[in-house]
Structure 1
Amino acid sequence: MVALSKPTLIQELFVNTLTTQIPVIDLSKADSKQLIVKACEDFGFFKVVNHGIPLKLIDKLESEAAKFFDSPESVKAQAGPPDPFGYGNKNIGRNGDVGWLEYLLLDVKRHSTHPQNLNFQCVVDDYVRAVKKMACEILEMMADELKIEARNVFSKLLMDEESDSVFRVNYYPPCPEVKENDGNGNLIGFGEHTDPQIISVLRSDNTSGLQISLKDASWLSVPPDSQSFFINVGDSLQTQAF
């Protein structure tokens, strides 16, 4: 998932920023396997650096996504409404959840769900291929460290032709000024949730906003880093391995 942010509203939550730091895993180091598993056990979340994904590819994806969201509504609407894939605006899913965001949800197996832009489609394909390779490397490191005999026990689920992997780009447009007692005090971008998948791979621009919940129920702000990736352990992996 990629997030492009221009927030003007900060969600009011209790945030622990003084004593806790997000684990940082250097994938080029020999101890990365141990550190990944420890981060999964302690946080369920970590940042990866030296991930091997070219920054040019990351920048191209962000540039093409920005062009899409800067397009007129009539153009973006051609890629929607989401069912479940496609362009969505404010409505999140089918349960009536609302957030201050626009998004593009793509089934990575079906090119027909991409916006009608060949260049965007090619960039997405290249980006997803590179991110999948990195994600498989991380999952296989987990399996090694957990002494699971089949090293690809997790990664094969990601690479399976019937995998339900999806690619999502979230865009957070400027939010109207929130006035006290105007009934909009609870406006947020994308609300509190867990991810049902094995893992989620996240990246954002250099705007803050992402937060994770810790074991003590406090919230930790994740410092933005556009050149790194963040890994969130999904519910499926949490129940199987940790």
Structure 2
Amino acid sequence: MSFRVPRVDISAYVADGTAAQRAAVAAQIDQACREVGFVQVVGHGVPDEITAAFVRAMDAFFALDLTTKKTCRTPPSVNRGYAPPKSESLSLSLGVESANRMNDFFEAFNVGATAADYPDSPGLPQDDYAENVWPDVEGFERAVSTYFAQAGRVARTLTGIFGDALGLDPDFFGSRTGHSLDVLRMNNYALPPGTDVTLDGDLTGMGEHTDFGIVTVLWADQVRGLQVLGSDGGWHDVEPDEGAFLVNLGDVMARLTNERWMSTLHRVKPPVLDGTIERRRSAAYFHDGDVDAVIEVLPSCVDADHPALYTPVTVGEHIAAKLQGSRAGVSNVAARRESESVLSSRR
């Protein structure tokens, strides 16, 4: 059976679609979430000029010298700022050791929702809702902030579709995302001058991992590199369709649905051509939910044949354990089910 990421037009939810049109979209999303966990989303309404300005801003930052970029680093507990090559290992977020513990060669820059963005939610943890670090690059903050708002709108549109697909109360996701831990991660898969990375068959752009939260909205170059683990046990190359966002579910949705919906393992393996890496850029908007929201299996997803696979956990507790792995090198011992999937894929 060939591997395919379904393509779904969500314009019925972006504009004023009829009830029948929205029901058809929700049914397509439900099928994609059950069978693949990834979707090619079109009809999202993000203007091309906003995306183009955002990509130019990314390029301008990553073109800076490594020393300048490193001035934007933050402690591992703060998911903001610059991450240089080989400073992270995504596989450790699932509790899986690799031969070189911090071996992911991508560089990244993170921005996120701050406490000031949620004035009606006082007392939010500073590390989780930290202020952003903005580089001294002309137009960067404006272009990135504008795109951040658009990607967030798409993510919230998708949770509305999820609620309809799962037959939930219309406010189900809204009541759990009023001060959502949202982060935009800009990734550059290339080797900056002065970077100590050996090009070999085991080169890891980004290790095997699942995303942490509710849903991820990904812009990416149409360049090979992203690989998704299929139900056949094989890794499959995936590129975004022209004008599409690649959307995938995170662990929170797998927990909520008792794995009726899939938080799919994926990784990045950019090709090496003539001894150099073919450059690939991406930007992932992670819509993760409120830090204090309790995630527990939906009653509608539990029966005699499908007992609950997860115990309740807050979004904050879950994500903290994942970040300790990817950013601080501390293996996530709570990710037993996920780590078993990674090890099985390696075998």
Any unmatched runs of 5+ in structure 1? 1-17, 177-181
**Structure 2 partner of 1:120:** 140
Note the C-alpha offset of 1:214. 1.5
**Structure 1 partner of 2:112:** 107
Note the C-alpha offset of 1:87. 0.8
**Structure 2 partner of 1:169:** 186
Q: Distance in 1 between matches of 2:175 and 2:136?
A: 31
Pair 1:98-2:103 in alignment: yes
Aligned 8 A contact 2:89 2:206 in 1? no
Q: How does 1:51-130 map to 2 (within 5 A)?
A: 51-81=44-74, 83=76, 84=78, 85-90=80-85, 91-92=87-88, 96-109=101-114, 110-117=130-137, 119-130=139-150
Tell me whether 183-192 or 210-219 shows the greater mean CA deviation. 183-192
Helix, strand or coil for the counterpart of 1:64? helix
Q: CA RMSD in A?
A: 2.4
Equivalent pairs counted in the alignment come to 217
Q: Percent sequence identity over matched residues? A: 27
Residues 155, 56 of structure 1: CA spacing in aligned structure 2 closer, same or farther, 3 A cutoff? Answer: farther
Tell me whether 77-86 or 193-202 shows the greater mean CA deviation. 77-86
Pair 1:206-2:222 in alignment: yes
Note the C-alpha offset of 1:81. 4.7
Aligned 8 A contact 1:200 1:232 in 2? yes
> What letter corresponds to residue 248 of structure 2 in structure 1?
N
Helix, strand or coil for the counterpart of 1:38? helix
> What letter corresponds to residue 129 of structure 1 in structure 2?
A
> What letter corresponds to residue 97 of structure 1 in structure 2?
M
How does the TM-score come out when normalised to structure 2?
Answer: 0.58
Helix, strand or coil for the counterpart of 1:79? coil
How does the TM-score come out when normalised to structure 1?
Answer: 0.81
Helix, strand or coil for the counterpart of 1:137? helix
> What letter corresponds to residue 81 of structure 2 in structure 1?
G
> What letter corresponds to residue 51 of structure 1 in structure 2?
H
Residues 71, 82 of structure 1: CA spacing in aligned structure 2 closer, same or farther, 3 A cutoff? Answer: farther
Residues 43, 144 of structure 1: CA spacing in aligned structure 2 closer, same or farther, 3 A cutoff? Answer: same
Note the C-alpha offset of 1:174. 4.6
Note the C-alpha offset of 1:82. 5.1
> What letter corresponds to residue 60 of structure 1 in structure 2?
A
Larger relative CO (CA 8 A, sep 6+): 1 or 2?
A: 1
In the TM superposition, what whole-angstrom CA distance separates every residue of 1:160-180 from its partner, at most 9, and x where no partner exists?
A: 23x22111011011599xxxx
Aligned 8 A contact 1:101 1:171 in 2? yes
Given the alignment, which residue of 234, 237, 240 partners 2:253? 237
Note the C-alpha offset of 1:111. 4.7
Q: Distance in 2 between matches of 1:224 and 1:174?
A: 23
Q: Distance in 2 between matches of 1:123 and 1:108?
A: 15
Q: Distance in 1 between matches of 2:249 and 2:142?
A: 28
Note the C-alpha offset of 1:98. 1.6
Q: Distance in 2 between matches of 1:204 and 1:145?
A: 27
Helix, strand or coil for the counterpart of 1:164? strand
Aligned 8 A contact 2:89 2:207 in 1? no
Q: Distance in 2 between matches of 1:165 and 1:47?
A: 21
> What letter corresponds to residue 20 of structure 1 in structure 2?
F
Pair 1:195-2:211 in alignment: yes
> What letter corresponds to residue 62 of structure 2 in structure 1?
F
Helix, strand or coil for the counterpart of 2:231? coil
Any unmatched runs of 5+ in structure 2? 13-20, 93-100, 115-129, 261-347
Tell me whether 93-102 or 189-198 shows the greater mean CA deviation. 93-102
Helix, strand or coil for the counterpart of 1:211? strand
Note the C-alpha offset of 1:194. 0.7
In the TM superposition, what whole-angstrom CA distance separates every residue of 1:117-156 from its partner, at most 9, and x where no partner exists?
A: 462111111111111111111111111121112x232244
Residues 175, 87 of structure 1: CA spacing in aligned structure 2 closer, same or farther, 3 A cutoff? Answer: closer
